[in-house]
Chain A
Amino acid sequence: MRKLEEMSTNTLPTALAEIVDDFQALTEPDRLQLLLEFSRGLPELPERLKDHPELLEQVVECQSPLFLTIESEKNDDGHLAYRLFFKAPPEAPTTRGFAGVLHEGLDGLTAKEILAVPDDMPELLGLTRAITPLRMRGMTAMLGRIKRKVAAASRLEH
């Protein structure tokens, strides 16, 4: 059963909450510009994944090809943290931009932190009208896929 969660930034990890605040402080055209900056900031895949596309999963709900995977590692506190990896073509800046938001907002967090992010978090960015609900669906699917993968991985590791 999916829990009903309050749409607020309270349950967002600090980095993601800051990103949401940044978006919300802007006008719509500037939000698009910020999303474009996130698309430019999306890190390249590390070499070991570049040569192994089969290790990445495609999020088919995205309008443009978007592949992602997660890896876990022990953080400084001895907790398991999850690293996020994305691949999206430069011709798909909207998809890349959202991957960039999730990367900056969630990379290196624990399963508990990632799973606490509300499923409809993308709506908080205030882009739905400018990007259209259709395009937002891919964004929501990307977050959903990350959460499912993290949930599955954390079950295996506990």
Chain B
Amino acid sequence: MSYPVEQNEKFASYANPERLVSTEWLAAAIADGAVADGKLVLVESDEDVLLYETGHIPGAVKIDWHTDLNDEITRDYVDGAAFAALAASKGISRDSTVVIYGDKSNWWAAYALWVFTLFGHQDVRLLDGGRDKWIAEGRELTTEVSRPASGEYPEVERNDAPIRAFKEDVLAHLGNPLIDVRSPEEYTGQRTHMPAYPEEGALRGGHIPTAASIPWARAAAEDGTYRSREELEALYLGEAGLEAGDDVVAYCRIGERSSHTWFALKYLLGFDTVRNYDGSWTEWGNAVRVPIVKGAERGSVPSALVRN
């Protein structure tokens, strides 16, 4: 059963207000017993695999982006059987309302939400501002690991096509809008990994031709919440030049930062067709004979690749 949707002025201006909840709303829902009685399943998803253990929102379960959501062997997400087992073990049923939050302005939480969406989970929301805002407001944390009653989750086949782009899709997409959400240094090709992050091995630096550079964090305010609709429109419609109805592909390095942008484009601005290219730069920057543009200019699609 779906838990009631939060109503507030900021969220009301977004295309899909039901996709966000505020820290106040969550605190009230917890006080109401919604998490304790399983009406609402709270999931923490962080970059650091041990952060949940240092303290989390009472009742939250942990899902690790790497060990839980990625297939151990193939570079892909888990299959329907593994996802069903994971969800059930976290107390999630197919009709559960799931609220996900995490560190770094929900960077990994948005990634987890995107993976839930690959499996067609209907009611999955983000805690606006994530873990940091909850802590900054002095709200309760616990180190007690939640052990929810098992959920009932069917084996659902992943439906990648609507929200996930593969390399071939991106090649076919060239000429349509792309958003590169990496740092300016990665975009220009000065470096192939995030500043202060591990080198993950891309043989070439630069960006996909015509991609607009809008680093992911620009969609977030200082407190980690999403910027207002007006600010997001200035960023993506104004600066990036997107137009209503555009078919958009977002990418980063491995698809995590671009999930945060995917969420903003899809649910806050209401673009129908937004896909996350999770192969991202660690695939494109290593692929043979794909076009790359270096420098700050967006560049153009090589004529041989222009499709009618």
The residues of A with any CB-CB pair to B shorter than 8 Å are: 32-33, 35-36, 39, 58, 60-65, 90-95, 97, 129-132, 134-135, 137-138, 141
Contact of B200 with A by CB under 8 A: yes
Inter-chain CA distance A67–B9, complex, in Å, is 43
Task: Provide the main secondary structure of the chain A interface.
Answer: helix
Q: Which of B8-67 contact A (CB under 8 A)?
A: 47-51, 53-54, 66-67
Inter-chain CA distance A125–B54, complex, in Å, is 20
Decide: A36 and B67 in contact? CB cutoff 8 A.
no
Inter-chain CA distance A91–B108, complex, in Å, is 14
Which of B49, B51, B66, B103 lies at the interface centre, i.e. has the most chain A CB atoms within 10 A of its CB?
B49
Q: In the complex, what residues of A have CB within 8 A of residue B49's CB? A: 32, 94, 130-132, 135
Inter-chain CA distance A135–B51, complex, in Å, is 14
Decide: B50 and A97 in contact? CB cutoff 8 A.
yes
Closest partner residue, chain A, to B195 (CB atom) = A60
Decide: B48 and A94 in contact? CB cutoff 8 A.
yes
Contact of B50 among A32, A58, A129 (CB under 8 A): A32
Inter-chain CA distance A107–B72, complex, in Å, is 36
Decide: B198 and A93 in contact? CB cutoff 8 A.
no
Decide: B67 and A132 in contact? CB cutoff 8 A.
yes
Decide: A64 and B54 in contact? CB cutoff 8 A.
no
Shortest distance between the CB of B183 and any CB in chain A (Å): 14
Inter-chain CA distance A137–B201, complex, in Å, is 12
Shortest distance between the CB of B19 and any CB in chain A (Å): 25
Decide: B47 and A63 in contact? CB cutoff 8 A.
yes
Inter-chain CA distance A129–B48, complex, in Å, is 14
Inter-chain CA distance A51–B105, complex, in Å, is 29
Given A60-B198, A63-B197, A94-B49, output 16 extra A-B contacts at Cβ < 8 Å. A36-B50, A36-B54, A39-B50, A39-B54, A58-B196, A60-B196, A60-B197, A62-B198, A63-B47, A63-B48, A64-B47, A90-B54, A91-B48, A93-B51, A93-B54, A135-B49
Inter-chain CA distance A63–B108, complex, in Å, is 13
Contact of A132 among B54, B66, B103 (CB under 8 A): B66
Inter-chain CA distance A47–B270, complex, in Å, is 52
Inter-chain CA distance A137–B199, complex, in Å, is 10
Given A32-B53, A63-B198, residue A134 in contact with residue B48 (CB < 8 A) = no
Closest partner residue, chain A, to B55 (CB atom) = A90
Q: Which of B167-209 contact A (CB under 8 A)?
A: 196-200
Inter-chain CA distance A61–B51, complex, in Å, is 19
Decide: A94 and B50 in contact? CB cutoff 8 A.
yes
Closest partner residue, chain B, to A35 (CB atom) = B50
Inter-chain CA distance A33–B50, complex, in Å, is 8
